[in-house]
Amino acid sequence: MTRFLFLLGITLSSMSDGHEVRPAYLEITSTDISHIHKASLRQPQIAGQFLGLILETNCEQTSIATQLNNSSITENYELNCTESPLREIEIVGLERTMIDALARISISNQESESVSTLLITGDQPKVELNAKDYRLPIYLLIGFEHLLYGYDHLLFLLMLMYLVRKPIDLVKIITVFTLAHSTTLALSVFEFIEISQTPIEAIIAGTIILLAHENLRTSKAHSIEPLISIVFAFGLLHGLGFAGALKEIGLPQSSQFNALLLFNVGLEIAQLTVVFFVLFVTQFTNLKKNKLLFSTPIYFSGIIASYWFIKRSWLIIAPLFLA
């Protein structure tokens, strides 16, 4: 019951911000001293609070420093693995959250170097480094969860589905959206373009408002031809939003392209899952016949997106007044 209330609380609070719930990030690297490793655990701030996650290993560990900023807290440790090599990692407290932790571990000695990337989940907060992992690729899972917990992206998809209602046309317009956001996601992650996230997030909220307004202006389905260029432009903006979280997590240096591809595939699978779920609900509930019930999501999306737009815009202009 406690975990349910905690999950409900951070879900509602993250929805009020419109941001996806980003994973924690653990990095462990070797030092010049044998059997001594450096570890840093970064955890996000949710609902104005930190999650209180704690790193535990089979090695003797010492807390060195704590770094705090507006969106996360990072705790640095020294791991002394003289008595036994690093075998087990546990993130205490992860089981009572709805987030995962991405762990990147690089252990080297005079003979070899071992680099591994793990996704530690609340269902299994303790992992053994030598155990085989039969789960789906990590970055595919991160991409899938990133969209499902990114409520602004979900509302944009929902408003798009109100504009384009034929399944074949919907697949086409979602493909255009995917091509667009994949383009700016790659350009941003590989640092060909660098744009502040705050104005991008405000504009993303604005795209939802525009689609909600268009859905209220006319109840008829739209032809996709005039929408293609608009959706492509909006997709470019959403790609920059996706890039914010991915750049914070980082990509493995040895397989950046593969990780980015898997992240995109995860996004696309999540998008199609949402689309087919909404189509299924509307098809078997006769939602379209009830005008009030059918219009309610449009009003809801417009209202909450307006709140996001005002809140995010204030973050841009507030420093001008406070300077």
Query: What is the per-residue pLDDT for 184?
Result: 93
CATH 1.10.260, applies to 2-8+25-134: no
Query: What is the per-residue pLDDT for 10?
Result: 42
User: What's the CA gap between 305 and 151, in Å, rounded?
Assistant: 10
Question: Hey, where are the domains in the chain?
Answer: 2-8+25-134, 142-322
Query: What is the per-residue pLDDT for 226?
Result: 82
Query: What is the per-residue pLDDT for 70?
Result: 67
Q: Is the pTM of this model over 0.85?
A: no
Alpha helices in the chain (DSSP H): 2-17, 138-148, 151-163, 167-189, 197-217, 225-249, 256-285, 291-322
Query: What is the per-residue pLDDT for 163?
Result: 87
Query: What is the per-residue pLDDT for 7?
Result: 42
Query: What is the per-residue pLDDT for 6?
Result: 41
What are the 10-residue block averages of pLDDT along the chain, 323 residues in total? 42 50 80 83 73 87 83 86 87 82 78 74 82 66 85 91 84 89 90 86 93 85 81 92 77 76 90 88 74 86 94 85 68
186 CB neighbour count, 10 Å cutoff? 20
Question: Is residue 113 a contact partner of residue 106, using CB atoms and an 8 Å limit?
Answer: yes
